[in-house]
Copies of this chain bind each other. A is one copy, B any other.
Amino acid sequence: MSHSTYKIKCVLNPHHIVDGDSCYDICIVGAGAAGLSAGIFAARRGYTVGIISTDYGGQTASTAEIENYPGCGKVEGPDLARAFFREAVGFGCSFISDRINGITRNGTIMLEGVQGQYRCRALIVATGKSPRRLGAAGEQEFFGHGVQYAGAFDPEPFRGCHVLVVGGGNSALDAAVRAALSASQVTLVHRRDQLSGERILQDRLHAAQNISVRLDTTVAAIEGGTRVESARVMDSYGAEQVISVGAVIVAVGFEMRSGWVCGAVSCTEDGRVRIDDSCHTSAEDIFAAGDCTTVPFQQIVISAGEGAKAALSATRYLDGKDGKRSIRTDWGYV
């Protein structure tokens, strides 16, 4: 199907999507809390929505247990992610399994994926982030052979092991506490002089009998044969020590996946998409939400709220294009 066919269909039938057609009113790239929440709100307003991602759930899906998504109590991350997904599809969003690498313009927006091209009248970028690498020698070599990244880690292989956790934020603390349930011993190393995760997680860390904490310490190398056998750590005076460990969990933050859109909209130096308080980017037809943006905090409920904002802004933009009155939100203000 040629571009011009897409374009005509899109312009003639902005609210109807023919099966197999790759033109949507709104494309959402990314299917974490922000993208799926955006899908729910955009589809409820009657627009055709295509959500493009290689998987769904983002960081929500890769968190074992979530206690701070208000209203849901204690919930398994994959279960919450499945609920988001089910609702987005239930309200009519199409899910397209692809990875977007580029964006061009030809009247409307054209997204370039690995599997195909997708045209839309408005775009919501919600690509989240992926775990940051430590950069230590051996980290890549032993990935999957003892090296794991926080969030998605599987505690089973740690049974009876000494586990090294690297990092000092919530995900590191959470990883250490969870690993300690099956590991014989957990050592948490953090390059700063204080942990920075939530008090409640610090309390749990200190309550565990088999977790020790080393501050002002970095990991120089991860070593072993076919699997991790030890880690070489260094204190702030430069003194090195080799610790025997069977596994290393890296929890030192995340990186952006939004490089492909940073030519089309204004981004920060570290690749986050700049947004205003309505989740509008520097382009009138591109919106963004969640961890890939300049939103100052990253939490599931914050990303879900930002996704809703991006969807309401995108539908308001399309309402204007279609000569409809701008939508009003539930309580009368926009």
Contact = CB atoms under 8 A, between A and B. Distances in A.
A70 B294 contact: no
How many subunits of this chain does the assembly comprise? 2
Contact of A199 (B44, B328, B332): B44
A87 B71 contact: yes
Dominant secondary structure at the A interface = loop
A102 interface: no
Interface stretch (A114-122, A140-148, A178-186, A302-310): A302-310
A326 to B, nearest CB: 8
B170 A37 contact: no
Given A200-B44, A277-B295, A302-B308, A328 B70 contact: no
Interface string A58-87: 010000000111111101000010011011
Nearest to A80: B71
B73 A87 contact: yes
B325 A196 contact: yes
Nearest to A70: B37
A299 B171 contact: no
Contact of A194 (B87, B170, B325, B330): B325
A194 B325 CA distance: 7
Nearest to A47: B199
A321 B36 CA distance: 38
Nearest first, the 9 closest Cβ-Cβ pairs linking A and B are A305-B305, A46-B199, A253-B332, A196-B328, A170-B330, A302-B305, A37-B70, A71-B83, A298-B331
Given A68-B308, A72-B83, 10 more contacts: A37-B301, A44-B200, A59-B330, A69-B71, A71-B72, A168-B328, A169-B328, A197-B327, A299-B305, A303-B305
15 contacts: A33-B70, A37-B70, A41-B68, A44-B68, A47-B199, A70-B304, A73-B83, A170-B329, A192-B325, A194-B325, A197-B327, A197-B328, A277-B295, A297-B329, A305-B305
